Amino acid sequence: MEHGNTRLKPGEVDLGTTIMAVKFANGVIIGADSRTTTGSYIANRVTDKLTMVHDRIYCCRSGSAADTQAVADMVHYYLQLYTAQEGERPPVETAANLFRELCYTNKDGLSAGIIVAGWDKYKGPSVYTIPLGGSIHEQPFSIGGSGSTYIYGYCDANFRDDMTKEEAIKFTKNSIALAMSRDGSSGGVIRLAIIDESGVERIFVPGNQLPTFWEG
């Protein structure tokens, strides 16, 4: 699938997708659908697009599956080195800047849009976006992938800075479900990860339990 990106090579697997991260009072929620496409063929309907790069830091990947997996693996390696050298967990900002450096340095050869989210002792919860081209933006919430174009209005209208954990979970689930209902390259199930000081909690929402809305 192209989805505005013409740099995929023939047969290359594309994460036509919906990815999202939301910051709430004490943590972050990161979520994604599970559909991976090769052209119009669904290569995998239960992909886990939430990639752990350290204990309290996850990323969501959109673009080329090969490119984003390679970049995430490199960041994971560097963060392990950081922990060994510094004797502590890396800040989320450090992980995000590693993604930025790799994506910007190789911007002409990569198709990679990344959302990085997590918790650290310095800033608490934080969300960073690294879009195509390798810039970096810290935001209270971020959406990405082909399905995100359908839900900008919903997210702008419903996001609040003071959301509780339960409200943030509902907001994320509804947003991804709305994108999945409109975007042919998003679908399957919803996977969520809640990251805070205590650790990571994973939530799985099967296809028959997705939030439903009007469908004419």
Active site residues per annotation: 17
Indicate if the alpha-carbon torsion angle 50, 151, 124, 69 is positive or negative: positive
CA nearest 43: which of 4, 10, 12, 85?
12
Whether residue 59 contacts residue 3, with contact meaning beta carbons closer than 8 Å, is answered with no
Identity of residue 31: G
Q: Is 134 left (phi over 0), alpha (psi -120 to 50) or beta?
A: left
Tally of CB atoms within 10 A around 150: 18
